[in-house]
Amino acid sequence: MMRNAAFAFVLLIAGTLHAAAQPAPAWTADIKDIRQVAGLLPGAKPLRINVLKFAESRRTKNFSVKGAPKDPSIQARTAFQVVYRDGTIMVDSGMDLQVHKFFGRGVEEPYFPDQAKEVERAVRAARMIVMTHEHGDHVAGVIRTPLFAELTPKTVLTRTQVHTLMTEPQMPEIKLTAEQAQHFIVIDYDKYYPIAPGMALIKSPGHTPGSQMVYIALESGKEYVLAGDVAWHMDGVRTVTGKDAPWITEDEPAIQGELTFLNGLMRNEKNVTVVLSHDEEQRNDYIKQKLLGDHLE
């Protein structure tokens, strides 16, 4: 009996040591902490969120989700508008035709000039602009534009986003000089940042060094996480599977952590809607369910 107890004790110690030896996950986040940060700034919460598609890329699904069949799939190029009673905040800023052509890599892909104009109008009207990450299809709208001087004083970039844009831009067209970088509002934070009433940024390096997700709690009580390009298709979130796109380099352990977080939200937080930037099926679905508005105000 004594020997059994001693043996059990040894097993227990071994188990504890084993648990302690597990490497810490590369990335974690806690929705309770995010909600608390999003509630820090006084003021009325936003009323609704709109999305607009201004271009498309055609990529088979295996690029978006590793191991998926090579089924045809549409990647929507989008920008989001968070609507408050007294103004709007844009999440991402669209891109011009030339940057769009870079993504096609020689293949002509759909670009919708009327919608792109709408994004430009909404970006001009916005009180503030924040970016999910520093790739051309998200930031070019404030960089490659004759409106640069007008837009930059209300555009918030993170220190890391600026660093990438200055030193390793995705394409030469969006490279920032040190002088240009000074026109932006540049912030730095470790984990979460209260950007506006009901809104928090969630630092999420992985797809790019400067990637972040945007948590939004509406006045109605509905909650959203705009997850940018953490995944390109929700199947990646559902199955916690990363991309398989040779033209990008991601921090894969961090992406795994982020996909695990989003997957947990999907399963356990029925009030939270996870929104990806490029999932065309999801965009259509959410518009149909009235979770997102289908035009910019």
In the complex, what is the shortest distance from the CB of residue 279 to Zn ion, in angstroms, rounded to a whole number?
A: 11
CB closer to Zn ion out of 229 and 258? 229
In the complex, what is the shortest distance from the CB of residue 275 to Zn ion, in angstroms, rounded to a whole number?
A: 13
CB closer to Zn ion out of 45 and 77? 77
CB closer to Zn ion out of 79 and 156? 79
**Amino acid identity of 109?**
E
CB closer to Zn ion out of 229 and 280? 229
CB closer to Zn ion out of 48 and 135? 135
CA-nearest of 282, 265, 244 to 67 is 244
Binding of Zn ion by 137 (CB under 5 A): yes
Contacts of residue 153, defined as CB under 8 A and 6 or more positions apart, other chains included, come to 183, 185
CA-nearest of 4, 14, 27, 18 to 258 is 27
CB closer to Zn ion out of 38 and 170? 170
Q: Both ends of the chain: CA-CA distance in Å?
A: 75
In the complex, what is the shortest distance from the CB of residue 149 to Zn ion, in angstroms, rounded to a whole number?
A: 26
Whole-angstrom distance, CA of residue 292 vs CA of residue 269:
18
Neighbours of 25 (CB within 10 A): 12
Binding piece for Zn ion, criterion CB under 5 A, among 115-123, 134-142, 181-189, 218-226: 134-142
In the complex, what is the shortest distance from the CB of residue 62 to Zn ion, in angstroms, rounded to a whole number?
A: 18
CB closer to Zn ion out of 131 and 151? 131
Binding piece for Zn ion, criterion CB under 5 A, among 101-109, 127-135, 218-226, 285-293: 127-135
Structural contact between residues 54 and 112, judged by C-beta atoms closer than 8 angstroms: yes
CB closer to Zn ion out of 48 and 207? 207
DSSP 246: T
Tokens 């004759």 belong to 146
**Lookup: tokens for 25:** 């996950």
Binding piece for Zn ion, criterion CB under 5 A, among 10-18, 104-112, 129-137, 262-270: 129-137
Whole-angstrom distance, CA of residue 223 vs CA of residue 208:
25
Contacts of residue 217, defined as CB under 8 A and 6 or more positions apart, other chains included, come to 35, 38, 39, 45, 198, 199, 223
Binding piece for Zn ion, criterion CB under 5 A, among 133-141, 197-205, 213-221, 282-290: 133-141
In the complex, what is the shortest distance from the CB of residue 92 to Zn ion, in angstroms, rounded to a whole number?
A: 8
In the complex, what is the shortest distance from the CB of residue 100 to Zn ion, in angstroms, rounded to a whole number?
A: 12
In the complex, what is the shortest distance from the CB of residue 137 to Zn ion, in angstroms, rounded to a whole number?
A: 5
Question: How far is CA 159 from each of CA 78, 125, 164, 182, 190, rounded to the nearest angstrom?
Answer: 23, 25, 9, 11, 11
Query: In the window 77-116, what residues touch Zn ion (CB under 5 A)?
Result: none
Structural contact between residues 78 and 54, judged by C-beta atoms closer than 8 angstroms: yes
Query: In the window 218-277, what residues touch Zn ion (CB under 5 A)?
Result: 229
Give the number of residues in contact with Zn ion, rule: CB under 5 A: 3
Question: What SS3 state is found at 276?
Answer: coil
In the complex, what is the shortest distance from the CB of residue 195 to Zn ion, in angstroms, rounded to a whole number?
A: 20
Binding site for Zn ion (CB under 5 A): 135, 137, 229
